[in-house]
Every structure is written in structure tokens, then in C-alpha cells.
Amino acid sequence: MSCVSRLPDQLKKLDIKINICRLFHLYGKNKYDSHISYLEHALQSASDAELNGYEPPMIIAALVHNIGHLVIEAEKDSCIIFEDMSIKNKKNHDYENYGVEYLKDLGFNSRVLDLILGSIDSRRYLSRDDGYYKNLSDQEKNILQIQGGPMNDQEKNIYLENKDYSLYIALRFFVSSTHMVGRNTKELE
């Protein structure tokens, strides 16, 4: 599943940071949930990673983990065109994979991409716990089911063999716990 990002000519040569900032500028004010926007959620997630002493790849992954939602909106507006797949009629349930493909095409660090993809599995792993599962929103429960539901014992054992599983879980907690209206964070730079 490869995609090619095609932004207007004046944007083609701009760096990763400009492309990401542009997506947040155009679509980041859209509602992440009933309380905060995608931009607020991203900044809060990144702030939590930074406050907990994580290295830049984790902080960046926390910032851009939901970029796929913005990519889908941009594609609908024809700002980004995917050659190998059409996402115009798809729902946002596969936003993480669309986002990772977009970030990969921009030349993002593979460590950041791995952390984002790993957080998908961490949701599945953590959802084995009834308390965690009960706290998921209806939207998150639907996405979880589409992504395979809670892990079975065999999947859990394989997951726990990954040396980075604790980082994936940390990222999942950062992105799951950031829904505070009016919280002070750094600006998008």
C-alpha cells in the first residue's frame, strides 16, 4: 500500500514540518471529540510524552499519531491524492495506516512510524483488560473491532516478545488520556 502525496505546486518542495503544519492549520481545528480539536489533542499528547522525559521520536509520534484523520480530510478536498487507493468513500477507521503512509512518503523517521503502528497493537493488547475496554469510546471500540478486536493469547505472547512493546503502550496512554479543554501546551512550531 503505497501512496504519493501531491500537494499544490508551491508546496511540493517544502519540508516535512511545513507539510505537517499545513495539515494542522487546514484541518486541525476539526473536532477530535466533543471537547477538543485534533490540534489540541495532538499538542496535549506530545506534551505528555515530553513531560515524561521521552526522546524526540516518541514526542513526534504522539504529535502526529492522528495525522491520518487530517490526511483523509485533505484527500476529500483534493489537497492530497493517493494513487494506489481511494479513501474518499472510506471511514476514518484506518486513519493510522493512511497517516503512516503519508508520513512515510514525506520521509519521516522510521522510528516514529514504528511507534505509531505499534500503538495500534497496544490498543488491542490493553483491551484484553475489561477496565481498559470499558473506558474506550464507542468510536474507539468500533475501530478496535475493525482492527481485530482484543488480542487472543497467542497474539499477546507475540506482542510481548517485541522489545518496544512498553513504548507502544506508553504512546497509547499518552494519546488516550489527553482530552482537556483549555489545557496549556506549546504551540505547533
Instruction: Give pLDDT tens digits for 118-176.
Output: 998 999 999 999 999 998 877 788 888 888 999 999 999 999 999 999 999 999 988 88
Residue 104 CA to residue 4 CA, distance in Å, equals 10
Neighbours of 108 (CB within 10 A): 21
Q: Please, which pLDDT band fits residue 79 given cuts at 50, 70 and 90?
A: low
- Beta-bridge mates of residue 37: 31
Q: What is the pLDDT of residue 181?
A: 67
Name the percent of the chain lying above pLDDT 90: 39
Query: Can you give the pTM of this predicted structure?
Result: 0.80
- Mean pLDDT for the stretch of residues 68-84: 71
- List Cα–Cα distances, 96 to 119, 184, 185, 189, in angstroms: 9, 26, 23, 22
